[in-house]
Amino acid sequence: MEVFKQLRSFYWPGKLKYLIFASILCLAVSTALGLVYPYMLKHLVDEIIMKGNYGQVPFVASTVLVVVAIKAGFQFLHGLAGGRLGNQVAYNLRKSLYEKLQYLSFQYYDKARTGDLMSRLTGDLDGIRQFIGFGFPQFLNVFLMVGFGSIMMAALNWKLMLITLVTMPFLVFTAFRFESKIHPAFREIRKSMSDLTTAVQENITGVRTVKSFARESHEVEKFSVRNDQFRENLTGSAFIWARYFPVMEVFANLSIVILLATGGTFVLRGEMTTGELLAFFSLIWYIIGPMWGLGFHINNYTQSKASGERVLEILNQYIHVKNNPNAVPVDDARSEGHVQFENVTFAYPENAPALVDFSVDAKPGSVIGLLGPTGSGKSTVFQLLMRAYNVKDGRILLDGKDIKELELESLRQQIAIVFQETFLFSSTIRNNIAYGQRDISMERIVEAAKLAQAHDFIMELPLGYDTIVGERGMGLSGGQKQRIAIARAILENPKVLLLDDATSAVDMETEHVIQQGLRQVMNGRTTFVVAHRISSLKHADEIIVLDEGRIVQRGTHQELLAQPGRYRETYNIQYSDHPDLAATRMEQRGVAHG
């Protein structure tokens, strides 16, 4: 029950506890009313049939009818209370899970799988909802029925009750043995179901890549492996059911055999009436039924416990990046966008350092270029500045304050970023550009789109800015998605602008046009530019060349061209087919000798 103790805050606060009590009370009353049937059966046999008092038949029939109606009413109230309880608990859990996912740091998402998270927010939550709303009251009802039935059986003949129920401890023991075996099995089922969901999600997301490389058969085989694992886990749980339920059935039917043999003997001896025996026979099923179903309820509890463990893994997940207790907001009026990296060294978990002793002083309004091969640490600079990860060695300052001392949301509001891999939401182009902005006029949206050189192609679309882009921006070219992302960053009106290879998906001509617009946007803002093209960096105030997380060169475009190193090598490679390359090399020699 430790899982449900940890989930207590989701089903116990406020009015929810009263729904639990109401559900249990209604079920208890409905269960108690069921005891009327054995009593009426005894009365029918002993007082009416055996004595010929047939005039009481209408009374018995009307009594049973009234009891049935009242019992149905309480069952309805139980179902209503249980349904409202389960749905509200699922709502609370779903809300908390989604909120937690929003604030979990990048470190968590580096390893998390989308399909697994979707499985926890859907299938696992539904398992918890079913148990708390209906499974738990039914589980408790087993003990109520056994308790009520045992009391009435003792009132009829306590000796026969003790003899008849001698097999019950064995039935209970078998049921709990079943629970200890089935719980690990269901935990594996939930895990394999998560793996299966992840496989489907990844395949649908990457369907274009799959088809481009003609890897359909490989994907089918990969899915088959996980599908086989899921089937084997289900088969394993079915084997456990098949092994334990016949044993429980044997103990249950053994009680019936003992009842018929002993009870028949008591009737022949005159120690009890025929009506009492029939009532006793009805009551034994009143007890055996729930005991027999105990395995089903334990199975339901076990599934929900396995689901609860998976949900708690998210809820209890540590948030690595969060506000310090004394964090202060950024003063928008005084913020200038002065960024300083002071001897920053950083490594991702279980990886070699991504940055080593990195330092830069980006004055307000300056442009810093970052160049280097893949994995050299360029994007890590952006991640650390946005505080996606915490710096362990060194520090990062914004306007003279360590970013760890600033409120996280306030810090990120000062920064806008255009990622290399553009993500657009399934919404209108207008909403994608204005994402996160409130009360933004259409004029400002259009102005941002024009600066990003996106306005013209947007107006050519059927509904213009009200055109709905497909999932992840499907229906637009890579360059079009990139320009929408740039417009979104421009609309933020940030003090610090981060461009992570923002023009990589456009041709050289379009890049030149976008760069012209970006220069207007960069004016007065501190800008960091990650690029593989020299053309995107040559106007930077300082260019930093990285290799394996270390700064190997730094300076302006002209300064770096004048010295041997990676920057000049990159320049020569990119402009090797340029018609003016000879003149450029002559210029380099002139600078070198000057």
Q: In this prediction, what percent of the chain has a pLDDT beyond 70?
A: 91
**Residue 446 forms part of a structural domain:** no
Average pLDDT on 32-55 reads 82
Range of the domain at 107: 2-315
Would residue 109 count as lying in a domain? yes
Of 185-189, 524-528, 562-566, the one with minimum mean pLDDT is 185-189
Name the residue among 519, 520, 540, 521 with its Cα closest to residue 529: 540
- The model's confidence at residue 588, banded by pLDDT at 50, 70 and 90, is very low
Mean pLDDT of 562-591: 66
Cα–Cα distance, 545 to 554 (Å, whole number): 6
Q: Domain for residue 396, yes or no?
A: no
pLDDT winner (highest mean) among 16-25, 206-215, 293-302, 512-521: 16-25
The shares of helix, strand and coil residues in the chain, as percent rounded to the nearest 5, are 65, 10, 25
Quick one: tokens of 403? Answer: 């970013």
Interval 135-146 mean pLDDT:
82
The total domain count for the chain is 1
Q: Do the Cβ atoms of 271 and 157 come closer than 8 Å?
A: yes
- Give me the pLDDT at residue 551, please: 93
d(CA 3, CA 310): 10
Using CA atoms, how far apart are residues 564 and 545, in angstroms rounded to an integer?
Answer: 12
CA angle 568, 574, 575 (to 5 degrees): 85
Query: By the 8 A CB rule, do 440 and 449 touch?
Result: no
- Which pLDDT value is given to residue 338? 93
What value does the mean pLDDT take over residues 532-536?
81
Q: What per-residue confidence (pLDDT) applies to 325?
A: 87
What pLDDT is attached to residue 586?
42
pLDDT at 585: 46
How far from chain centre, in Å, is Cα 434?
Answer: 26
Interatomic CA distance for residues 562 and 545, integer angstroms: 14
> Which stretch of 42-51, 182-191, 205-214, 487-496 has the lowest confidence by average pLDDT?
205-214
Q: Does residue 233 fall inside a structural domain?
A: yes
Q: Is pLDDT of 589 > 60?
A: no
Q: What is the pLDDT of residues 99-112, one digit of tens each?
A: 888 888 888 887 87
Residue 164 has pLDDT above 80, yes or no: yes
Tokens of residue 339, six digits: 């960024």
Specify the pTM: 0.73
Residue 226 lies in a domain: yes
Give the Cβ contact number of residue 336 at 10 Å: 16
428 lies in some domain? no
Half-sphere exposure for 121 (CA within 13 Å, toward CB): 14
pLDDT tens per residue across span 349-398: 777 788 999 999 999 989 999 998 888 888 899 999 999 888 889 999 99
- At 276-298, the pLDDT tens digits run 888 888 888 778 777 766 767 77
Assess whether pLDDT exceeds 50 at residue 11: yes
> Taking all residues of the chain, what is their mean pLDDT, rounded to a whole number?
83
> What percentage of the chain carries pLDDT values higher than 90?
15
> Is the pLDDT at 456 greater than 70, yes or no?
yes
pLDDT for position 528: 93
**Which pair of structure tokens corresponds to residue 63?**
């009594």
Quote the DSSP letter at residue 353.
Answer: E
Q: What is the pLDDT of residues 227-286, one digit of tens each?
A: 888 888 888 888 887 887 788 778 877 888 888 888 888 888 888 888 888 888 888 877
Q: Answer yes or no: is 200 within a domain.
A: yes
Q: Say how far apart CA 521 and CA 493 lie, in whole Å.
A: 9
Determine if residue 101 is left, alpha or beta; phi over 0 gives left, psi from -120 to 50 gives alpha, anything else beta. alpha
Cα 318–chain centre separation: 15
pLDDT of 135 reads 84
Token output for 551? 């700064």
Triad 306, 85, 291: Cα angle to 5°: 60
What CATH number is given to the structural domain containing 71? Answer: 1.20.1560.10
How crowded is residue 150: how many other Cβ atoms within 10 Å of its Cβ? 17
Do residues 23 and 82 lie in contact, with contact meaning Cβ atoms separated by under 8 Å? yes
b/e 256-294 (16+ beta carbons within 10 angstroms → b): eebbeebbeebbeeeebbebbbbbbbbbbbbbbebbbbb
pLDDT of residue 577: 56
Q: Output the pLDDT for position 594.
A: 37
pLDDT for 584 equals 47
pLDDT for res 213: 62
Give the pLDDT confidence of 178-229 residue by residue, as tens digits. Answer: 777 877 887 788 788 878 887 887 777 677 667 666 777 878 888 888 888 8
In the prediction, which pLDDT does 544 show? 94
Cβ 74 vs Cβ 30: under 8 Å? yes
Measured from the Cβ of residue 362, the count of other Cβ atoms closer than 10 Å reads 20
Convert the pLDDT of each residue in 293-324 to its tens digit: 676 777 788 888 888 888 998 899 888 888 88
Cα(126)–Cα(150) distance, integer angstroms:
35
Query: Which residues in 75-100 are b (16+ Cβ under 10 Å) and which e?
Result: bebbbebbebbbebbbebbeeebeee
The answer to whether the beta carbons of residues 332 and 145 sit under 8 Å apart is no
Q: Between β-strands 339-347 and 393-398, what pairing exists: parallel, antiparallel or unpaired?
A: antiparallel
Q: Which of 64-68, 187-191, 502-506, 552-556 has the lowest mean pLDDT?
A: 502-506
> Would you say residue 580 has pLDDT above 60?
no
Which residues, other chains included, contact 127 with Cβ-Cβ below 8 Å and sequence gap of 6+? 303, 304, 306, 307
Q: Following CA atoms 272, 273, 276, 280 in sequence, which dihedral angle do they give, to the nearest 10 degrees?
A: 60
**Residue 264 placed within a domain:** yes
Residue 510 has pLDDT above 70, yes or no: no
Categorise residue 82: left if φ over 0, alpha if ψ from -120 to 50, beta otherwise. Answer: alpha
